[in-house]
């Protein structure tokens, strides 16, 4: 395998460093900053001619990062890079995967088309695939989906006695089922109705059979936190306190973490797909494996 040289968008330096140690292709320094008028300035400070290069750019809070990613990938190609891949541990815009109201943008499809036209390949971690069953429905370039379920399961096994896993909605079913299988713990999946960005209702779980268990709420994304806050309220009403929240992507819009803690979350734990104070599960080994698999198939001409 030819290890790609890594280029980190600002904020991704630590993750790129961790990947660089595992992959061995080195880091190419860049300068990326904002002009006073808000435009993005980009400079690549290293040789990339004839090399495979991967941009490390987790895309939470994505709009400005997408412009920076585009300018970098165009610059890398102009400077002679052979192939340019994207390592985006968090992929944005995947939840708008249908036209829920007439006239809405199909954002997941459009962003998928955009990213596919900029990069040669993509590696990401558990994107929100619900109405799109696979990455291939959104991206036309080779795309590797790295799964975090085993790492979530390992953390739960090591830290939570007698866990009862709870998924707050149908979308979470895939993660909760697979994590529960690996932990060898029972699980419940609730039903959610979303009325607006910050307004959701979640069905009340039947907890009669689970006295003595510790509730562990498992979801892919914590954004406003309202999905988990609603779920915790049901648990507390049923006398089940001390919920542990485990999620893959720490989006945490606004004051979501404080709100979750105020609602009664005993612990909030995430992976480092997005750098955040709640990161306790490291996915860099798994992402490095995903990049190796991608480079191996790219070497076979995929
Ligand atoms: C949606 O279906 C996802 O799986 C998450 O449940 C959702 O994104 C969480 O959003 P929020 O934290 O804003 O409730």
Is the pLDDT at 114 greater than 70? The verdict is yes
Residues 120-168 have pLDDT tens digits of 999 999 999 999 999 999 999 999 999 999 999 999 999 999 999 999 9
Percent pLDDT > 70 in the chain is 98
> Looking at ligand 1, which atom is closest to the CA of residue 197?
13
Q: What is the mean pLDDT of residues 11-29?
A: 97
Is the pLDDT at 301 greater than 60? The verdict is no
Do 216 and 246 meet the contact criterion of CB atoms below 8 Å apart? yes
Give residue 302's pLDDT.
44
Q: List, in sequence order, every residue forming a beta bridge with 268; answer none if it has no partner.
A: 245
Placement of tokens 């900029």 in the chain: 118
Pocket lining: 126 vs ligand 1, CB cutoff 6 Å? no
Is the pLDDT at 119 greater than 80? The verdict is yes
298 or 244, greater pLDDT: 244
Contacts of 294 by beta carbon, 8 Å cutoff, 6+ apart: 85, 121, 123, 142, 144
Pocket lining: 224 vs ligand 1, CB cutoff 6 Å? yes
Residues 67-108 have pLDDT tens digits of 999 999 999 999 999 999 999 999 999 999 999 999 999 999
Pocket lining: 151 vs ligand 1, CB cutoff 6 Å? no
> Looking at ligand 1, which atom is closest to the CA of residue 222?
12
Best residue for ligand 1 mutational test, from 222, 251, 278 (most atoms within 8 Å of Cβ): 222
Nearest CA to ligand 1 atom 1: 171
Residues 192-202 have pLDDT tens digits of 898 888 888 88
């Amino acid at each position: 395998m030819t290890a790609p040289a890594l280029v980190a968008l600002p904020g991704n330096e630590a993750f790129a460093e961790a990947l660089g140690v595992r992959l061995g292709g080195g880091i190419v320094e860049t300068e990326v900053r904002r002009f006073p008028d808000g435009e993005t300035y980009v400079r690549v400070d290293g040789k990339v001619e004839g090399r495979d290069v991967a941009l490390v750019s987790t895309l939470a809070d994505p709009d400005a990062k997408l412009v920076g990613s585009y300018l970098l990938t165009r610059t890398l190609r102009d400077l002679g890079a052979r192939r340019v891949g994207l390592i985006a541990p968090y992929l944005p815009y995947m939840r708008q995967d249908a036209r829920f109201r007439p006239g809405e943008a199909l954002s997941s499809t459009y962003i998928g088309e955009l990213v596919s036209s900029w990069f040669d390949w993509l590696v990401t971690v558990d994107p929100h695939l619900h109405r799109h069953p696979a990455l291939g429905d959104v991206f036309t370039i080779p795309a590797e989906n790295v799964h975090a379920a085993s790492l979530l399961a390992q953390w739960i096994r090591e830290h939570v006695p007698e866990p009862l896993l709870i998924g707050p909605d149908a979308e979470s079913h895939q993660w909760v089922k697979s994590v529960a299988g690996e932990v060898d713990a029972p699980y419940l999946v609730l039903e959610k109705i979303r009325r607006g960005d910050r307004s959701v209702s979640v069905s009340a779980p039947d907890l009669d059979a689970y006295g003595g268990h510790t509730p562990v709420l498992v979801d892919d994304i914590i954004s406003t936190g309202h999905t988990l806050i609603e779920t915790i309220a049901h648990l507390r009403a049923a006398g089940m306190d001390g919920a542990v929240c485990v999620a893959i992507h720490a989006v945490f819009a606004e004051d979501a973490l404080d709100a979750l803690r105020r609602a009664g979350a005993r612990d909030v734990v995430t992976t480092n797909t997005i750098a955040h104070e709640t990161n306790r599960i490291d996915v860099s080994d798994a992402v490095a494996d995903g990049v190796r698999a991608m480079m191996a198939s790219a070497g076979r001409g995929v």
